[in-house]
Amino acid sequence: MNGMYYHLDIKMHQITYHDKATQIETEEEDTIEKILKVITTLCTKVDSMDNEIQKLNTNEDNMKSKASQQHDYKNAKLRQSKGGKNPELKGDDGKLLQTHNVCLNTAASTSKQVSDKQHKNANLN
Protein backbone atom coordinates (compact mmCIF):
# COMPACT_ATOMS: atom_id res chain seq x y z
CA MET A 1 0.00 0.00 0.00
CA ASN A 2 2.85 2.34 -0.62
CA GLY A 3 1.41 4.91 -3.04
CA MET A 4 -2.25 4.38 -2.25
CA TYR A 5 -4.71 4.85 0.53
CA TYR A 6 -8.34 4.06 1.24
CA HIS A 7 -10.98 6.51 2.35
CA LEU A 8 -14.01 5.30 4.21
CA ASP A 9 -17.10 7.47 4.01
CA ILE A 10 -19.32 6.24 6.81
CA LYS A 11 -22.43 8.17 5.77
CA MET A 12 -22.50 6.75 2.27
CA HIS A 13 -21.13 3.36 3.32
CA GLN A 14 -18.77 3.48 0.41
CA ILE A 15 -15.13 2.69 0.21
CA THR A 16 -13.28 4.77 -2.36
CA TYR A 17 -9.85 4.11 -3.71
CA HIS A 18 -7.51 7.05 -4.45
CA ASP A 19 -4.11 7.05 -5.97
CA LYS A 20 -1.76 9.24 -3.89
CA ALA A 21 -0.30 10.87 -7.04
CA THR A 22 -3.79 11.90 -8.19
CA GLN A 23 -4.46 13.54 -4.82
CA ILE A 24 -1.19 15.51 -4.99
CA GLU A 25 -2.03 16.70 -8.51
CA THR A 26 -5.46 17.87 -7.34
CA GLU A 27 -3.95 19.71 -4.36
CA GLU A 28 -1.38 21.35 -6.65
CA GLU A 29 -4.14 22.43 -9.04
CA ASP A 30 -6.11 23.89 -6.13
CA THR A 31 -3.02 25.71 -4.89
CA ILE A 32 -2.26 27.09 -8.35
CA GLU A 33 -5.89 28.21 -8.71
CA LYS A 34 -5.72 30.00 -5.35
CA ILE A 35 -2.44 31.68 -6.33
CA LEU A 36 -3.95 32.85 -9.63
CA LYS A 37 -6.98 34.28 -7.79
CA VAL A 38 -4.68 36.16 -5.41
CA ILE A 39 -2.58 37.49 -8.32
CA THR A 40 -5.74 38.59 -10.14
CA THR A 41 -6.98 40.37 -7.02
CA LEU A 42 -3.61 42.10 -6.58
CA CYS A 43 -3.54 43.20 -10.22
CA THR A 44 -7.04 44.65 -9.86
CA LYS A 45 -6.01 46.55 -6.74
CA VAL A 46 -2.82 47.85 -8.39
CA ASP A 47 -4.85 49.06 -11.39
CA SER A 48 -7.27 50.79 -9.04
CA MET A 49 -4.38 52.43 -7.16
CA ASP A 50 -2.85 53.56 -10.47
CA ASN A 51 -6.16 55.18 -11.44
CA GLU A 52 -6.34 56.96 -8.08
CA ILE A 53 -2.75 58.20 -8.44
CA GLN A 54 -3.54 59.56 -11.90
CA LYS A 55 -6.60 61.37 -10.52
CA LEU A 56 -4.53 62.85 -7.68
CA ASN A 57 -1.83 64.00 -10.10
CA THR A 58 -4.46 65.59 -12.34
CA ASN A 59 -6.03 67.35 -9.35
CA GLU A 60 -2.60 68.54 -8.20
CA ASP A 61 -1.80 69.90 -11.67
CA ASN A 62 -5.18 71.68 -11.81
CA MET A 63 -4.62 73.23 -8.38
CA LYS A 64 -1.12 74.39 -9.33
CA SER A 65 -2.49 75.91 -12.53
CA LYS A 66 -5.26 77.75 -10.66
CA ALA A 67 -2.81 78.99 -8.03
CA SER A 68 -0.46 80.23 -10.76
CA GLN A 69 -3.32 82.00 -12.54
CA GLN A 70 -4.43 83.65 -9.29
CA HIS A 71 -0.85 84.71 -8.58
CA ASP A 72 -0.51 86.17 -12.09
CA TYR A 73 -3.87 87.96 -11.72
CA LYS A 74 -2.85 89.49 -8.38
CA ASN A 75 0.49 90.63 -9.81
CA ALA A 76 -1.27 92.18 -12.81
CA LYS A 77 -3.62 94.08 -10.50
CA LEU A 78 -0.68 95.27 -8.39
CA ARG A 79 1.16 96.50 -11.50
CA GLN A 80 -1.94 98.36 -12.66
CA SER A 81 -2.42 100.04 -9.30
CA LYS A 82 1.24 101.10 -9.12
CA GLY A 83 1.25 102.57 -12.63
CA GLY A 84 -2.01 104.50 -12.45
CA LYS A 85 -3.38 107.37 -10.39
CA ASN A 86 -5.08 106.48 -7.12
CA PRO A 87 -8.48 108.21 -7.34
CA GLU A 88 -9.30 107.27 -3.76
CA LEU A 89 -6.93 109.95 -2.43
CA LYS A 90 -8.76 113.16 -1.49
CA GLY A 91 -7.72 116.28 -3.34
CA ASP A 92 -5.77 114.35 -5.96
CA ASP A 93 -6.41 116.05 -9.26
CA GLY A 94 -3.70 114.15 -11.09
CA LYS A 95 -1.32 117.11 -11.35
CA LEU A 96 2.15 117.03 -9.90
CA LEU A 97 3.15 120.00 -7.77
CA GLN A 98 6.35 121.79 -8.63
CA THR A 99 8.59 121.27 -5.63
CA HIS A 100 11.98 121.73 -7.26
CA ASN A 101 12.29 125.48 -6.57
CA VAL A 102 11.14 125.07 -2.98
CA CYS A 103 13.86 122.52 -2.41
CA LEU A 104 16.48 124.76 -3.99
CA ASN A 105 15.48 127.73 -1.83
CA THR A 106 15.57 125.64 1.30
CA ALA A 107 18.93 124.19 0.39
CA ALA A 108 20.34 127.61 -0.51
CA SER A 109 19.32 129.21 2.76
CA THR A 110 20.72 126.30 4.71
CA SER A 111 24.00 126.37 2.86
CA LYS A 112 24.26 130.14 3.37
CA GLN A 113 23.89 129.76 7.10
CA VAL A 114 26.38 126.95 7.18
CA SER A 115 28.90 128.88 5.11
CA ASP A 116 28.58 131.94 7.38
CA LYS A 117 29.83 129.97 10.35
CA GLN A 118 33.55 129.80 10.66
CA HIS A 119 35.15 126.56 11.51
CA LYS A 120 38.50 126.05 13.07
CA ASN A 121 40.56 123.11 12.08
CA ALA A 122 40.96 121.03 15.18
CA ASN A 123 43.28 118.54 13.54
CA LEU A 124 46.13 117.82 15.92
CA ASN A 125 48.41 116.26 13.33
pLDDT in the model for residue 1: 43
Most confident of the ranges 1-5, 8-12, 62-66, 113-117: 62-66
Q: Are 4 and 20 a contacting pair, CB within 8 Å?
A: yes
Higher-scoring residue by pLDDT: 14, 29: 29
Q: Rg of the chain over CA atoms, in angstroms? A: 48
> In this structure, how many other beta carbons lie within 10 angstroms of the beta carbon of residue 50?
10
| pLDDT at residue number 98 | 57
CA separation for the pair 70, 59 (Å, rounded): 16
Determine which of 34-38, 49-53, 61-65, 81-85 has the lowest per-residue pLDDT on average: 81-85
Q: Are residues 33 and 15 in contact, defined by beta-carbon separation less than 8 angstroms?
A: no
Residues 34 and 53: their CA atoms lie apart, in Å, by 29
